[in-house]
Structure 1
């Protein structure tokens, strides 16, 4: 029996949660189809999900297609919750990307498809809502080819569009036009198939086999049409999933290896980790290694069967399971043997930040604990604490997240909160190279450690890299167990210090190299004779040295830039262009697309909200704008700063006073 871990992705309101309900109904898991509007669906279990009719948290349900077990992961479509999609991508075997037959290819659809193609995740497309007025077929097929991928192949024809009798008719084996189109697409990637096709030796069976192979390699993308509401086309989609998408590779006898993609807390407050197993077997009472150094005992296991999670003695390769007992586990941790680096982000990081203020002063401590737990479940939403101002900040993708955080804090923790106005999150990048050092036993250095660091620029998007370039004999391995342990902790100190740079923003895209190291012990060589060095000495000295090196390197403050696409009636362009220019946008040459004028360009993220607010008035309510994060760009003119929340290592006197005497 095979297993397929299948993601279902879409732009918000395309109907993917309703499609999930239809698939569960067709498989006999549920007796009736729930309604998103009524809040009665299987996967939208949060109160706010039912209230708003949107998916906020990814959910796993299971059903069977013959001898194939499908673990279906329903993900959010709203761009404010893209972090939930981020975590799911690394555990999928394949995806269904849902598109509305009325609205067509939307902004989030394009973002998702680009990511799926970059990660080479096998994907079939399902065009939903063919029974809705305004549903399209030919025009939408052309739009998919233009905006998503030319390697899309419709698997049938939609009839009765826009009526409740709309249906999907799969192409028959003797459909010469379909076979020719399919062969033309498949032979681009298969020379042997091309030779056989030229010689007219290709059967329909061989074409279907080649289609499955190339779909499994994410080279082509079958397209199905239908309606999740009335069930049209879903039978063909299910058959396509069974035939065309690759099953999970199963290696039960291999070493334990898996990835945690979701963490939640039980009603009793215990952590529950969702893990996709790639090889091996995790049993109840096994001691499981995870993350960089964690190891804890699994106290309970459940796996997904017939629509729900059920208790099990173990979770095996290919399966998705829930694990209890791992108190320190985090989203993104790899369990057992690591499968390479999974730290790269597939989507843009959050670009907004807001202060969260408790309505009652007595809730300050409880609010910190609650937000820390929420940040555990969502690592892309970082938490900053400003001890000087007694304020807490969280990063966001959008304003809808405020409502979710507010409702979660109220419902789950009994804490009422308010939010300050959101501000744009900038970053800092080093301009040049800078070095600094603090030497052991010098009068100016009150810490029992020698640290020398060099900071230099790295390619954009590369993040932070830490390197150790010192004589291993100068490393206090006895404090950190070994040189590897020291390197790991120094990298942690460096990353923590770089959360706030010269102007208070996160520093990224740099290489930090440790070029000097030293410690002291009572019995002298190979170290310096003196009082024993401690881990705290290295932890507290690192920010001071690193900020000195960064000050010599200097930094650019960079703001997030979005690429926008704006459609407007041609006669309103004269009003739109000056408004766009005032918002510091850089437009491209306008293009005519049918009855509309299309304007593309770049705009600072901070100005995007203003563009959306003004657009209706500028275009008689007919203008539509979509955008996606593109890059960070150095700010010209006055550089914005962010108040520091650390002990301010840029001011040596202040830092030493706070670190040595207050703590």
Structure 2
């Protein structure tokens, strides 16, 4: 199980990449379009109208024997609170960078938060098929403005054309990779000094995965979410290089709510990641500050959507029903290790909302209360 976030500056191609990953994994028959409003994760009317992501959304797919819960997050800085809540439940991240615009302001803000949280990161340089796309320039941009601990996982042919393709490095024991890994791994350093023949491909990939999981190095993939170039290689990298969810299924219940929504009938649905233990339907759980409730239904994510389940266990993301008083950010059971952390600066502006008609105050208060459940 891998809980994966897709993060980027607005318009770098996060949602389009999500669609392409679902398509390459066999979950959907055709990738949706942001412009046409046919994507899996942008379900709000305003998201489809504006062509941007406003609220985090969860989809699921399988790579080899790894189930990936993918959280598509907003890129616009106005909705950075959605990103902050998603960060608290992730095992790894794909940070998308445009091959044309390069590292942008929101990219740097996201990177600083990921470094503080020590989340393993793979870079995906998108839009290599666009005119003005770069390769060496992008590697230099990431190294200069984000981190020098990057390892390009291949090269690009036909850069800036519709036929642009990602060419994976055929020699996994190349000098660049070995030199980077040797900085933090004495075994690789010894093998490197003894000669490249002493480093089998599979062994070196295992050492690379270990350093990615320890956030010491960050692989860089190139491709195009529109054409699909490089996405298959990225898929394999997700399963091979990022760490699987961990925790004790028999331990005490511990989870975190990172999203709350309401159905048309008004009942509340809480999206929660489990860090420890298990919750079954009809279990009574404690959450927030001394509140509790009985779980009446559970859905877990599988093959692109949420499916009904009798329980949710460690590492999984679930939709929980029946917890009427639960709020976004609430801890379920005992707090996880990353409880009460904040990764972005709080808002600097406040707004006072006043009812035009004093008789409308109760309805206005009820509406704002529902909004606050989703975004305090």
Same fold, judged at TM 0.5 (above):
yes
* Contact residue 15 and residue 128 of structure 1 kept, 8 A: yes
Name which of 225, 230, 233 aligns with 2:230: 233
| Number of aligned positions between the proteins | 374
**C-alpha displacement of 1:93:** 0.5
1:353 is paired with a residue of what secondary structure?
Answer: coil
The aligned residue for residue 602 of structure 1 is none
The aligned residue for residue 492 of structure 1 is none
| 2:61 aligned with 1:63 | yes
| 2:328 aligned with 1:325 | no
The aligned residue for residue 141 of structure 1 is 139
Alpha-carbon distance between aligned partners in 2 of 1:341 and 1:27, rounded to the nearest angstrom: 31
> After superposition, where does 1:93-104 map in structure 2 within 5 Å?
93-104=91-102
The aligned residue for residue 103 of structure 2 is 105
| 2:23 aligned with 1:39 | no
Alpha-carbon distance between aligned partners in 2 of 1:308 and 1:281, rounded to the nearest angstrom: 21
TM-score between the two structures when normalised by the length of structure 2: 0.97
Alpha-carbon distance between aligned partners in 2 of 1:190 and 1:118, rounded to the nearest angstrom: 23
The aligned residue for residue 269 of structure 2 is 272
* Contact residue 260 and residue 273 of structure 1 kept, 8 A: yes
| 2:190 aligned with 1:195 | yes
* Contact residue 126 and residue 225 of structure 1 kept, 8 A: yes
* Contact residue 332 and residue 342 of structure 1 kept, 8 A: no
> After superposition, where does 1:179-578 map in structure 2 within 5 Å?
179-200=174-195, 201-340=198-337, 342-358=339-355, 360-379=357-376
**C-alpha displacement of 1:250:** 4.5
The aligned residue for residue 28 of structure 2 is 30
**C-alpha displacement of 1:131:** 0.5
1:355 is paired with a residue of what secondary structure?
Answer: coil
Q: Is 159-168 or 183-192 further displaced after alignment?
A: 183-192
1:344 is paired with a residue of what secondary structure?
Answer: coil
**Unpaired runs of at least 5, structure 1:** 380-663
Alpha-carbon distance between aligned partners in 1 of 2:204 and 2:115, rounded to the nearest angstrom: 22
**C-alpha displacement of 1:363:** 2.8
* Contact residue 276 and residue 321 of structure 1 kept, 8 A: yes
Query: Bigger relative contact order, structure 1 or 2, given CA contacts below 8 A and separation 6+?
Result: 2
**Unpaired runs of at least 5, structure 2:** none
Q: Deviations over 1:343-388 (max 9, x none)?
A: 1211010111223344555433211111121112112xxxxxxxxx
Alpha-carbon distance between aligned partners in 1 of 2:357 and 2:170, rounded to the nearest angstrom: 67
The aligned residue for residue 85 of structure 2 is 87
* Contact residue 249 and residue 313 of structure 2 kept, 8 A: yes
4+ residue runs over 6 A deviation: none
RMSD (Å) for aligned C-alpha atoms: 1.3
**C-alpha displacement of 1:22:** 0.3
Q: Deviations over 1:92-127 (max 9, x none)?
A: 000000000000000000111111111110010000
The aligned residue for residue 160 of structure 1 is 158
**C-alpha displacement of 1:291:** 1.8
**C-alpha displacement of 1:202:** 2.6
2:369 is paired with a residue of what secondary structure?
Answer: helix
Alpha-carbon distance between aligned partners in 1 of 2:355 and 2:225, rounded to the nearest angstrom: 42
The aligned residue for residue 390 of structure 1 is none
The aligned residue for residue 49 of structure 2 is 51
TM-score between the two structures when normalised by the length of structure 1: 0.55
**C-alpha displacement of 1:205:** 2.4
Alpha-carbon distance between aligned partners in 2 of 1:245 and 1:341, rounded to the nearest angstrom: 19
The aligned residue for residue 126 of structure 2 is 128
**C-alpha displacement of 1:161:** 1.1
| 2:72 aligned with 1:74 | yes
* Contact residue 6 and residue 94 of structure 1 kept, 8 A: yes
Structure of greater Rg: 1
Alpha-carbon distance between aligned partners in 2 of 1:110 and 1:292, rounded to the nearest angstrom: 34
Q: Deviations over 1:572-592 (max 9, x none)?
A: xxxxxxxxxxxxxxxxxxxxx
Q: Deviations over 1:471-508 (max 9, x none)?
A: xxxxxxxxxxxxxxxxxxxxxxxxxxxxxxxxxxxxxx
- CA separation of 1:140 and 1:81: change in aligned 2, threshold 3 A: same
The aligned residue for residue 171 of structure 2 is 173
- CA separation of 1:38 and 1:341: change in aligned 2, threshold 3 A: closer
